Structure 1
Amino acid sequence: MIHNYLKLALRNLWKQKLFSAINFTGLILGFSAFLMIGLYVWDELSFDNFHDKKNRIYRLWDATATRHVAMTPYVWSVPLNNELPEIENIVTIQHLSLIVKQDDDVYAETEMFAADSTFFEIFDFPVLRGNPQNLLKDPNRLIITPEMATKYFGNTNPIGQTLEINIFGTFVSFEVSAIAACPENSHIQFDFLLPYELIKKYSFNPPAYENWRTHFVYTYLLMTPDFDHAAFKTKLKQFLLKHGGKTLYDRYTPNIQPLSHVYLKSNLEFDFQPKGSIKNVKILTVAAIGLLVIAIINFVNLMTSQYLRRVKEIAIKRAMGSDKSAILLQFLVESSLMAVASVIVAVGITLFFLPQLNDFTGKTFQITHVLNPGFIVISLITGLIIGCLAGIYPAFVMASYKPVCILRSKPANRVKSVLTRKILVIFQFILAVVLLMATGTINEQVDFMLKKDLGFNQDQVIVINDAGQISSHPDKTNLLREELLKNVSIHAVSASSSYPGTGTWSVGYKPEGYEDIEQSLSLSTIFADHDFINTYDIEIIKGRDLNRQIQSDSNAYLINEAAVQLFSARDNSWKTNPLNKLLEETYLKKKGPVIGVFKNFHFESLERKINPLIIHIYSEYFFFHTNQTEQ
């Protein structure tokens, strides 16, 4: 019977070729937009789902009065694991950018991670070659991805091969022990995994690994099932009180976030990049559904209009004995056939425009993503359901006609159907207007971000990564600066711990007038040389810039307007004259005067307000060189 309905549906569609083509095109466009957006949303929601223990993995993060950071001190991990029974396992990870040497070839690798041997006990990154039981336990053996295996060793077996890696100035030989894949839907994206032992051994700052305040590692916890989140948070505070006393207890508030929140729902400083946004996912989901609803309403209206032209056909069938269910089924088959066919064509369109979709979203979707059995089945079922739902109203309208009423000039049912169509059209236009307004708002937001004055010059600025390789050698740093400045197109060169948009260090300070407080203020800090302000064209509004010719400037500070405002809340003299006020940096035990106040600039995301920022010299933490070139 269904076979006959399908034949009849095809005949009717072919008979009304132009009408069917218009209706078909609208539905295809709606489904195509829905599938493309759905593919992006599907991928965003899939992040980190491949880990078997994903529901029990949490990331430890920390907060102060002014900052929320994704990092924690390295020294916390062992006592946490030993003292809190809710923690089943723990791993610390440090993100590194190091130099790799193979024979005479040298490469700068930015996606390196040093990790504890418990890394693969918590996470389930696929191990393609090597023994999964012994990973990261030997200090001279590392793990690489298939991409790095091809890059360094071609088609030969990389297991047992060696690479030299410059760990903070010392080349160390490592043997490749395993090949592990890093799925694209993981918020942790690595090319190399190194054991922690040698990283600590050759670190330029060994005390940092024993300091309870220095936040520089990512800590992940495997929690026991059904642990009490609120109680555990209280235990974390008590843990700090036990090991650091009231000072540490008052300053930090550690917490945990589920692994499922790290990529989409986290808004912490030093988050892994790039990261997603649950807000964007929700907006796109609503937009996709809205576009599909518009297409469905259009489909319903056109199908109803077309069916109303077939009242004589319905009258004859009813007179010949067809019941309502047969009429209903006939029209449902027609609408479902069009909907499913539209989905199939939309899948083809999605495949055709996949390169453009990748360029627009920054993703790397492959044909296999679209032709994934799960994605295809869900798409077809969605099309079938929508076809039934879209066709059920016009089908019921037609099936409800009585043959005797069809000859009337204005059957009641036809009047009702016209009214319903008008309501649907009005709703369709309202929805379209809402989507257009939302699109306009988003466009204005994007335009605002593109044109917003950030307070510094980002044009013609080139950043050289991995300056940390030479930062501990002032002679090398100065030599690099001199060589760069020999190029007449380079106007200025600066070395710094970070550059705008990449995060800052959180350092404790005691400003003049705050000597009586036990707890220092934790403030954003950029360690920079004398040329940072000049290189980025940041405006000095009071005082002067750091001067290489004045030796005492090595202990001097530059602060922004937000810092002046913060310090003035306790001591109003900061507001009237902040110059020559003293600042004490508690980590380096460095005390010196404020010699300049610079205008607020956006050194973090535009989503955040401009916080207090301190700039001063500490060459050990110069990780970037920035060059300003002429246009």
Structure 2
Amino acid sequence: MLFHHFKVLIRTLLRNKTYTALNIVGLTGGLIAFLLITLYVQYEFSFDQYHENKDRIYRVVKQNKGSEYFGSDRYAVTPPPLAPTLQEEFPEVEAATHLYAPKSTLIGVDQATYLEEKVVGASPEIFDIFSIEILSGNQGELLTEKYSGVISESLAQKYFGNASPIGQTILYKGSHPYTIVGVMADLPANSHFRMDLLLDFAGMLDTEPATMDQWQNNFFYTYCLLRDEATPQELEAKLPSIVAKYLTDANGGGAFNNTRFYLQPVPSIHLQSRINFEINPNGDIRTLRVFILIALLILLIAGINYINLSTAKAFRRAREIGIRKTIGAHRRQLVFQFLGESFFLTFCALILTLVVVHYLLPGFSEFVGRDLSLSPVGQIWLIPFLLVVFLLVGLLSGLYPAVVLSSFKPLSILKSHAPSGQKKSTLRNTLVVAQFAVSAALIISTLVISRQLNFIKSKDMGFNREQVIVLNIRDFELRKKTQTLKEELLRIPEVKMVSTASDMPNFFDSSTGANWPGKPEDVDVRLYTGQIDYDYLDLFEMELAEGRGFSREYGDEKNAVLLNESAVKALGWEEPIGRQIFKWGRDTATVVGVLKDFHHNSLHLSIAPMQLFFTASSRQVAVKVSGKNMAETIAAIEAAQKQFAPNYPVEYQFFEESFAQAYESEIKTGKMASWFTLLIIIIACLGLYGLSAFTAEMRIKEVGIRKILGASVGSLLLLLSRNFLSLIILAFLIATPLAYYFMSLWLENFVYHIDIGLSVFIWTLVAMLAITLLTVGYRTLRTALGRPVEALQQED
């Protein structure tokens, strides 16, 4: 019996090659997108899940009420004494540690030097809290000795090859010796922090300023492991006592009445933490929810295609069903047969999906910046997941067609050759509207995202960001010689101008409370603060609203300050030139100029008050180049820096690239949305093509009669297409308000954004009508151009 059903299935599929191909291609396209998105989403949710005690590990986060920075008053960094205080004074805490993670640290090994991004300082308790696999060394003794370190397996291979790293010496910051006492396995990539070199925290502090171990400094990430019987609520309720006891005028150097600490579960950090000074860039759960919705919609549309095409073909299979029922076939046998077809097609589509995803995954992984894998090794969820998808897609896609087809009454079928299709036609029309409503909403969303990104690219930010190369100066000795470096760089023919500063115009990350002589006690103004040299404004073509910029004519401008227009407004000064302001709370500086407002952070945030002081040397050097012979120019710039800091690798980046990084999430979201929108449209068009072919086939005699009576090809084309066009317009009307609402919410993430104009909806409607006419028109045109005699000879 099974073999008989299988023979019927194969014959049916081969007899209807076009519909079979449309179904397989549609299901495959939907499954490809669904599987790619699922792999990405699962990876994002897997961050920090590998820790054995993940449910008891918390990060301590600090909140400074009333002190907003980058739109948030919460900070991931905390004072260094916090970790030992938690462990000593609170019985709920089993272990606590702090991490110190300086960026781009110079490491010396023998005669070579390396610039490493994943150097972390910690106390020995880190091994009690996190699941870190130790390959060599005694875990109970690691980091207990001063100036000791633990190296990752990959970094040990890089530094020492196949030789044992135990007992080897490395130079922290190129000059401070540390002894390697252990080797750890590389941390999984799905961790919110990375470590290639783990150094003794106390030893690292010896190389930093003396105040680094004080309560008023916040450079450290604090983690604690709670005891089994303890709850985070119990510990959080006691944390205000730390503020009262240690963050006071006598101990902390200032009042901290608005400071509080709270606990954050470590597994939630990657997706649900939107606070300042994260140890690494995080993901965004809101974006993931959008992609999950898109994945489900794509799969739904692929299933709708199958239902539409299967029920449409019911009219062609009516006689087969009638005959089979007449000779004794039971309804459940027919249901089993049609479900078998659905599962067989789904199986074929799933196999084809796995093959295609295997080849697409490397490129997709590179695009999303994640190491995704299709291998079930290490991903025990994958095989059960694929099995569930196979069963659900096969069942949901095939159940309704199976029930409908098996319900035909044999007598009525054999008398009229086809069952009544009114209810089925209504259902098909509803499903078509649903498909294209989703397509329309995604087209609108993609256009809005694209226009917002174009707005960002073209908006006048208040500075010129073209043809600028930025050097990051890590060597403190070189920072003292930046004027000499500038002179050397200016000797390069393609270099037009050079400037040094603490920050580039698109990202000032330091802020302080404003203070000036006669400041009212009830006024609180925070100013973003930076340092620039004489050439900064000219290099970036920034404009002054009044006064002057820093000038060599006035010599050392250490007692001068520039404000932006927002700062003048926030301070309430009608005539700012000549006013005094305290420079970091000590010496006073005189306002010599007011800058026109420029976007010193991304367009997600409004322009904030800021002050700029003078510096002759700092951590970044901007080099304006002509744009010609770029490779030779970069090589000359590298050679110039190497003259002064031969041990430091040259770090450079085009300013345009760093500017775009602020919108990396939106750029990737836009690209992914575009590709998946295109896929949804293709899948929907496949179904539309199949339905148009079926409609043309069902009305072929009518077309023949109309042609004999003189109907033109154009009128026949309109006759066969107008039903689909009306469905598309209805889908557009349904999608428009939904898309407008959700994209308005998305644009609220930007303080500066476009307005969703009428043109977005007009272009969407035009695109949908054009797609429909191209899809439907091709098949209906063939019918309309056919010979009437052949049409009238078609068998009912």
Distance 2:181 2:473 in 1: 23
- For residue 619 of structure 1, report the CA deviation from its aligned partner: 8.1
1:563 matched to 2:567? The reply is yes
1:489 matched to 2:487? The reply is no
**Gap regions ≥5 residues in structure 2:** 628-796
CA 1:328–1:79: 2 relative to 1, 3 Å: same
1:612 matched to 2:616? The reply is no
- Counterpart position of 2:247: 244
Q: Deviations over 1:31-82 (max 9, x none)?
A: 1111122222222222222122223333333333222332222233332333
What SS is found at the alignment partner of 2:416? coil
TM-score (norm 1): 0.89
- Counterpart position of 2:58: 58
The residue identity in structure 1 corresponding to 2:290 is I
What SS is found at the alignment partner of 2:100? strand
What SS is found at the alignment partner of 2:443? helix
CA 1:77–1:357: 2 relative to 1, 3 Å: same
- Counterpart position of 2:773: none
The residue identity in structure 2 corresponding to 1:626 is A
TM-score (norm 2): 0.71
CA contact (8 A) 1:98 1:466 kept: no
Distance 2:226 2:464 in 1: 46
- Counterpart position of 1:336: 343
Distance 2:513 2:258 in 1: 10
**Gap regions ≥5 residues in structure 1:** 569-573
1:102 matched to 2:109? The reply is yes
- For residue 335 of structure 1, report the CA deviation from its aligned partner: 0.4
CA contact (8 A) 1:511 1:567 kept: no
Distance 1:275 1:252 in 2: 24
CA contact (8 A) 1:506 1:523 kept: yes
- Counterpart position of 1:26: 26
Q: Deviations over 1:268-326 (max 9, x none)?
A: 22224432121211111111211221111111111222233222222233233332222
- Counterpart position of 2:634: none
CA 1:497–1:55: 2 relative to 1, 3 Å: farther
What SS is found at the alignment partner of 1:264? helix
The residue identity in structure 2 corresponding to 1:507 is T
What SS is found at the alignment partner of 1:40? helix
- Counterpart position of 2:404: 397
1:201 matched to 2:222? The reply is no
CA contact (8 A) 2:413 2:419 kept: no
Q: Which moved more, 1:403-412 or 1:420-429?
A: 403-412
Question: Structure 2 residue aligned with 1:525, among 526, 529, 547?
Answer: 529
CA 1:530–1:470: 2 relative to 1, 3 Å: farther
Distance 1:450 1:128 in 2: 49
Distance 1:78 1:33 in 2: 49
The residue identity in structure 1 corresponding to 2:544 is I
- Counterpart position of 2:519: 514
- Counterpart position of 2:626: 630
- Counterpart position of 2:597: 600
Distance 1:577 1:546 in 2: 19
CA 1:553–1:105: 2 relative to 1, 3 Å: same
What SS is found at the alignment partner of 2:529? strand
1:384 matched to 2:391? The reply is yes
Question: Structure 2 residue aligned with 1:91, among 97, 104, 122?
Answer: 97
CA contact (8 A) 1:41 1:281 kept: yes
Bigger Cα Rg = 2
The residue identity in structure 2 corresponding to 1:177 is G
The residue identity in structure 1 corresponding to 2:590 is P
CA contact (8 A) 1:494 1:532 kept: yes
- For residue 24 of structure 1, report the CA deviation from its aligned partner: 0.8
Question: Structure 2 residue aligned with 1:577, among 575, 584, 594?
Answer: 575
- Counterpart position of 1:70: 76
Aligned length: 616
CA contact (8 A) 1:128 1:181 kept: no
Q: How does 1:539-550 map to 2 (within 5 A)?
A: 539-547=543-551, 550=554
CA 1:280–1:625: 2 relative to 1, 3 Å: same
CA 1:426–1:50: 2 relative to 1, 3 Å: same
Question: Structure 1 residue aligned with 2:142, among 129, 135, 151?
Answer: 135
Q: Deviations over 1:84-109 (max 9, x none)?
A: 44443322222222212223322222
Question: Structure 1 residue aligned with 2:195, among 190, 199, 213?
Answer: 190
Distance 2:130 2:534 in 1: 44
Q: Which moved more, 1:419-428 or 1:450-459?
A: 450-459
Q: Which moved more, 1:523-532 or 1:143-152?
A: 523-532
What SS is found at the alignment partner of 2:101? strand
Q: How does 1:281-320 map to 2 (within 5 A)?
A: 281-320=288-327
1:375 matched to 2:371? The reply is no
- Counterpart position of 1:347: 354
CA contact (8 A) 1:470 1:477 kept: no
- Counterpart position of 2:86: 80
CA contact (8 A) 1:544 1:596 kept: yes
- Counterpart position of 1:571: none
Distance 2:587 2:230 in 1: 43
What SS is found at the alignment partner of 2:195? coil
CA 1:595–1:258: 2 relative to 1, 3 Å: farther
Distance 2:451 2:149 in 1: 47
What SS is found at the alignment partner of 1:467? coil
CA 1:22–1:609: 2 relative to 1, 3 Å: same
- For residue 201 of structure 1, report the CA deviation from its aligned partner: 0.4
CA 1:453–1:147: 2 relative to 1, 3 Å: farther
- Counterpart position of 2:695: none
CA 1:122–1:357: 2 relative to 1, 3 Å: same
The residue identity in structure 2 corresponding to 1:198 is G
Question: Structure 2 residue aligned with 1:160, among 167, 174, 180?
Answer: 167
- Counterpart position of 1:553: 557
CA contact (8 A) 2:318 2:418 kept: no
What's the RMSD between the two structures over aligned residues?
3.0
CA 1:557–1:46: 2 relative to 1, 3 Å: same
Q: Which moved more, 1:363-372 or 1:529-538?
A: 363-372
Distance 2:611 2:190 in 1: 36
CA contact (8 A) 1:507 1:585 kept: no
Distance 1:252 1:586 in 2: 21
Distance 1:75 1:530 in 2: 40
Higher strand proportion (structure 1 or 2):
1
What SS is found at the alignment partner of 2:117? strand
Distance 1:503 1:340 in 2: 55
The residue identity in structure 2 corresponding to 1:14 is L
